Amino acid sequence: MQKFSFTVLLLVIFANLTQAQSFYSRRRDRSLMFSYGVGFSTYHGDMHDVFYDGLHSALGPSLGVGLRKKLGSQLSIRLDANLYQIGGNDAEDQKGFLSHRLSGKNDNGDQDDRYIRNLNFRSRNFEVSALAIFNLIPSGSYSRRPLMNPYLMFGIGRTTNRPKTYLPGEEGKYSVKLWEIQTEAAAPVDSYPKSVTVIPLGIGIRFRANQYIDILVEGARRFVFTDYLDDVSTFYPSIDEVIAWNGGPGSPTADIAVLVYDRSVEGGYKARQKGNIRGKENNDAYYIFSLRLELYLPDNFIGELFSPSRRKPKFR
């Protein structure tokens, strides 16, 4: 409740600041915009295919802020920062269509390849990006902008990559840091992709709420240069390899790795053999969909914000 109250207070302060500057001539454009919003995120990879499984089992919350600079009647750039959560669970997606497409098996119960594999993960990450925004409808001054304006987004960024899983019998308690455990030959701990480059590509619609505020509805796919958002990519190793990679016999890390690299035995199936397919070598991706408020700031807003005169007392 305190976080929500602080968020509302922050938006009110910014709205009041923009309203307080209304003495500016309407002929003078406001080319700097601050946006803030919430939404949801989902992931596309070895444990979840958004085109076949839908969205429900992989949804997570997201929170984002941005600062946009207008460069012309249609083009602008925006610096973004997002906190988001993604995840996947083979058991939850057992009724999807992905395994049918890949293996030709029926998508029910124990005949689903992913259901037998039984892997899962959750990841809470931080992303920063620089976006080019292109309005489909040209607009002049901010005071004469259209009531609705669709736009395209394209950019480049970086995101952290912190997948976790839970131990057998501790469902929902994501305590195992998968980037600290080697589960496949292609992903040793010392070169694990803990941060990766992303290419956001998306669309949005901007609705004019009043003279100083717009409402943004947008969504973008993030193309990611790794197949390890979910810690699944290639083939099963042998149990001896897993133990050797993670500190050797008797190592606590090796004991945990043995429990989480092959979870088919938890469902009563035989352990996977070395060389069995564990994942498909295609880069993963994730999506962020958000609802934002965008505030048009006075051109001298940043200068006024850090001006020494603002810290001087009004009365002596």
Domains of the chain: 29-300 (2.40.160.20)
Tokens of 289: 């969909």
Contacts of residue 271, defined as CB under 8 A and 6 or more positions apart, other chains included, come to: 239, 262, 264, 265
What does the alpha-carbon distance between residue 239 and residue 105 come to, in Å, rounded to a whole number?
A: 27
| Contact (Cβ atoms closer than 8 angstroms) between residue 294 and residue 37 | no
Indicate the pTM of the whole model. 0.83
| Contact (Cβ atoms closer than 8 angstroms) between residue 37 and residue 7 | no
Q: From residue 99, how far is each of 44, 82, 268 by CA, in Å?
A: 14, 32, 19
Sign (positive/negative) of CA torsion 162, 167, 171, 173? negative
Tokens of 197: 């480059």
Q: For the segment 125-173, what is each residue's pLDDT rounded down to a tens digit?
A: 999 999 999 999 998 788 889 999 999 999 999 999 999 999 999 988 9
Tokens of 169: 């019998």
Of the two residues 94 and 38, the one the predictor is more confident about is 38
pLDDT at position 6: 53
> How far does the chain reach from its first CA to its final CA, in angstroms?
39
Tokens of 245: 């990679």
